[in-house]
Amino acid sequence: MAPKTQKKTKKQIIHEAAVRLFRDKGYSATSMRDLADAVNLKASSLYNHISSKEEILKNICFENAQRFLAGMEKVEATPGNATEKVEALLRLHIRTATGDAASVMAFNDEWRHLTEPLLGEFMALRKDYENRFLAILNAGMQAGQFRDIEPTIALHTIFSSIRWLHDWFQPGKKLTAEEVEEHVVRMLMKGLSAS
Amino acid sequence: MAPKTQKKTKKQIIHEAAVRLFRDKGYSATSMRDLADAVNLKASSLYNHISSKEEILKNICFENAQRFLAGMEKVEATPGNATEKVEALLRLHIRTATGDAASVMAFNDEWRHLTEPLLGEFMALRKDYENRFLAILNAGMQAGQFRDIEPTIALHTIFSSIRWLHDWFQPGKKLTAEEVEEHVVRMLMKGLSAS
């Protein structure tokens, strides 16, 4: 078993170095050579572990898509009204932004660099997530819990409103991740609420 | 006067083509050759009108900075409470996003490509605007008009929450610019309000 564990660890190191490079230089400007240098490997050895930088981008994008879809499934399966469901999803978005910033940055900004058929598959997962989120927003409006806001506008306002946290939040600064989460939730959930 | 007017028009045409290219390809990927092709000039002739693509980026960034600072000055000089002032600024941000999308995109995403001393000058204008916006948020919290939300979080949540409109809004679709503005204002101002 030892060699298999060893290899998995190396792959993980490469993955983490790539996430940092994508964050700092952008996906397009990151070369396999940059990545090899970052993990002290020759470019030729790097190919023993990964086939391309797109393989890493694919992993980042699909892992994040699965994280959000798993969160959605849990929320859908849990009893509760639309307010509780939206708040649970909002907290998942915020925690992901404060807890896994580099990954979120690649997910937000760099998914466009996926090529087909990956791009289409990724966009379908994303659309599925958005549609299920919209269904919860619609339910909350019909139940009179949320104000009369065009659901598409509410959805994108929520998504967009936290798309600075991953860049700004630093552990150990003035506010903890929990405090940041409470302030953002307070502002956005109140904005939706009909009461 | 005729030649001067002529020249100004050509410069404006080049400016507008550059804004579209920056939006579609990104600033980094846009070459002077692309720009010359877009306006049917030889690259050598283009230099009669502009010195570099950074000159155009500079114009976009500083024109937008001046637009927001002029809005801030007007708001500061107008009687009214913090709620009215924040709402007026929010409406300025939204109208700029729906009315001048390509320019906003360059302003949001591409200012980082300015070089010194322009970069430092631009960031100082931006910081000035943010500080004056924060002062209004603080005043509203101290007056009990706004909820107890960390002002920096409220500020960036407001700025970020509309940073999808320029990409999404299309005149002539389901919602008018005025309707979009009302829905976004409704959600965000309610989110801030203490009542």
pLDDT tens digits along A66-80: 999 999 999 999 999
Mean pLDDT of B130-150: 92
Inter-chain touch A184–B160, beta carbons under 8 Å: no
Mean pLDDT of B140-158: 90
- pLDDT: is A146 or B24 the higher one? A146
Q: Of A50-59, A105-114, B157-166, give the lowest mean pLDDT range.
A: A105-114
Look at residue B44 and tell me whether its pLDDT is greater than 80: yes
Chain A nearest CA to B115, separation (Å): 17
Average pLDDT, chain A: 87
- pLDDT: is A152 or A109 the higher one? A152
Q: Which two tokens stand for residue B89?
A: 């600024």
Q: Is the ipTM of this complex over 0.85?
A: no
Inter-chain touch B183–A159, beta carbons under 8 Å: no
Inter-chain touch B156–A147, beta carbons under 8 Å: no
- Measure the CA–CA gap between A107 and B29, rounded to whole angstroms: 21
Question: Residue B164: which of A154, A156, A187 has the nearest Cβ?
Answer: A156
Chain B nearest CA to A181, separation (Å): 10
Q: Provide, rounded to the nearest whole percent, the portion of chain A with pLDDT above 90.
A: 44
Best B183, B185, B189 member to test A by mutation, with max A CBs in 10 Å, is: B183
Look at residue B142 and tell me whether its pLDDT is greater than 50: yes
DSSP string covering B53-87, please? Answer: HHHHHHHHHHHHHHHHHHHHHHHHHS---HHHHHH
Look at residue A166 and tell me whether its pLDDT is greater than 60: yes
Which amino acid is it at B82?
Answer: A
Question: Residue A157: which of B149, B175, B187 has the nearest Cβ?
Answer: B187
Average pLDDT, chain B: 87
Look at residue B2 and tell me whether its pLDDT is greater than 60: no
Which amino acid is it at B112?
Answer: R
DSSP E strands, chain B = none
Residue of A nearest to B148 (CA): A183
Q: What pLDDT is attached to residue B7? A: 55
Long-range contacts of A175-184 (CB under 8 A, 24+ apart): A175/B150, A175/B153, A177/A95, A177/A98, A177/A99, A179/B150, A180/A94, A180/A98, A180/B150, A180/B153, A181/A91, A181/A94, A181/A95, A181/A98, A183/B149, A183/B150, A183/B153, A183/B154, A184/A90, A184/A94, A184/B153, A184/B157
Residue of B nearest to A175 (CA): B150
Chain B nearest CA to A69, separation (Å): 22
Query: pLDDT confidence of B130, banded at 50, 70, 90?
Result: very high
- pLDDT: is A148 or A92 the higher one? A92
Residue of B nearest to A174 (CA): B150
Phi/psi for B28 (5° steps) reads: -60, -40
Mean pLDDT of B101-109: 76
Best B87, B187, B192 member to test A by mutation, with max A CBs in 10 Å, is: B187
Residue of A nearest to B190 (CA): A191
Look at residue A185 and tell me whether its pLDDT is greater than 70: yes
Residue of A nearest to B175 (CA): A150
Look at residue B45 and tell me whether its pLDDT is greater than 60: yes
Mean pLDDT of B124-147: 93
pLDDT tens digits along B55-86: 989 988 999 999 999 999 999 999 999 999 99
- Measure the CA–CA gap between A159 and A130, rounded to whole angstroms: 10
Cβ count within 10 A of residue B103: 23
- Measure the CA–CA gap between A65 and A53, rounded to whole angstroms: 18
Chain B nearest CA to A130, separation (Å): 15
Q: Which two tokens stand for residue B130?
A: 């943010």
* pTM of the predicted model over 0.90: no
Q: What pLDDT is attached to residue B1? A: 45
Q: Of A22-26, A49-53, A82-86, A91-95, give the lowest mean pLDDT range.
A: A22-26
Which chain A residues are closer than 8 Å to B109 by Cβ? none
Phi/psi for B146 (5° steps) reads: -105, 155
pLDDT tens digits along A15-67: 889 988 888 888 888 889 999 999 988 888 888 888 888 998 998 899 999 99
Chain A residues contacting B via beta carbons under 8 Å: 147, 149-150, 153-154, 156-157, 159-164, 168, 175, 179-180, 183-184, 186-188, 190-193
- Measure the CA–CA gap between B124 and A129, rounded to whole angstroms: 39
Inter-chain touch A192–B187, beta carbons under 8 Å: yes
Domains and CATH numbers, chain B: 1-51 (1.10.10.60), 54-192 (1.10.357.10)
Are residues A91 and A185 in contact, defined by beta-carbon separation less than 8 angstroms?
yes
Look at residue A102 and tell me whether its pLDDT is greater than 80: no
Query: pLDDT confidence of B174, banded at 50, 70, 90?
Result: confident
Q: What pLDDT is attached to residue B172? A: 81
pLDDT tens digits along B84-104: 999 999 999 999 988 887 778
Look at residue B19 and tell me whether its pLDDT is greater than 90: no
Cβ count within 10 A of residue B61: 24
